[in-house]
Amino acid sequence: MLFDTHAHLQDRKLRGDLDNILRRAGEAGVEKICCVGYDLESSREAVQIARKYRQVYAAVGVHPHDAKTVDDNLVQKLRDLAREPKVVAIGETGLDYYRDLSPRDVQKEAFIVQIKLAQELGKPLIIHDREANQDVIDIVKKHRAGINGGIMHCYSGSLPLALESIKAGFYISLAGPLTYKNARRSQEVAAKLPMDRLLVETDCPYLTPEPLRGRLNEPAHVRYVAVKMAELRGQHPDETAYLTWRNACQVYRIKD
């Protein structure tokens, strides 16, 4: 059994073929998926998909690219969505200094607002961190962002920062780049972190793993991430699949 902890099933590249995509996921042993929002509309769509498909759960939030859209009205709409029974997390939120599509101070403010929303609702956070490692961990620590748990999604940082994140209450989720030849940092993280803090994801339709790079990514492909993690840790792939499944159910508070 596998749990894809981060997918964008509402993406236009996937939305029109969900029945087949989810059938293939099931055939690959992927029994649960979290469909993650990145703005208000995609969060609404994530909830709609979760309502329709028993194996899909949802997260609602605003990506740092759209941080400038976050105001009291939007936060109230997220709050209402987050009360849906199958919404298991707030996110994705965080900081992105690679593209800087929103000013950094605005990103930080929107991040903190969503941390407070997660705390208010007693839900874990899904954090996006791109080239903003230290600012993310500083905000996480200052605002006790991990009080209800959370996930550092598609983690690409160092082992020491991963260990700091764990101490702050977070799980580390690894995606397709773990399978790439030059992914030394991610591979070190996968090999050396405590197994009870590791997750797998696709971030589909992006970041397709080897040996499928160049194709559209989908939840069925999360098995390649789990197999690579197993190889790095000297585990049987079935053991890695089960343990990451168990971790995902724990952070999302889903009875497995």
Domain span at 28: 2-252
Total number of residues shown for the chain = 256
Share of the chain above pLDDT 90, in %: 95
Burial group, residue 19, by CB count within 10 angstroms (0-12, 13-18, 19+): exposed
pLDDT computed for residue 140 by the predictor: 95
Indicate whether 145 pLDDT > 90. Answer: no
Residues 220-252 have pLDDT tens digits of 999 999 999 999 999 999 999 999 999 999 999
pLDDT computed for residue 60 by the predictor: 99
The CA–CA distances, whole Å, from 158 to 46, 185, 186, 187, 251 equal 31, 6, 8, 10, 22
pLDDT computed for residue 256 by the predictor: 67
pLDDT computed for residue 100 by the predictor: 84
Residue 186 near residue 206, CB atoms below 8 Å:
no
pLDDT computed for residue 110 by the predictor: 98
Indicate whether 254 pLDDT > 90. Answer: yes
Band the pLDDT of 75: cuts 50, 70, 90.
very high
Q: Residue 194 is part of a domain; what is its CATH number?
A: 3.20.20.140
Share of the chain above pLDDT 70, in %: 100
What SS3 state is found at 29? Answer: coil
Q: Which residues of 77-112 are buried (b: 16+ CB within 10 A; e: fewer)?
A: ebeebbebebbbbbbbbbbbeeeeebeeeebbebbe
Unique residue bearing structure tokens 């740092």: 64
Count of domains for the chain:
1
Residues 111-137 have pLDDT tens digits of 999 999 999 999 999 999 998 999 999
Band the pLDDT of 45: cuts 50, 70, 90.
very high
Residues 87-106 have pLDDT tens digits of 999 999 999 999 888 999 99
pLDDT computed for residue 217 by the predictor: 99
Indicate whether 150 pLDDT > 70. Answer: yes
pLDDT computed for residue 99 by the predictor: 85
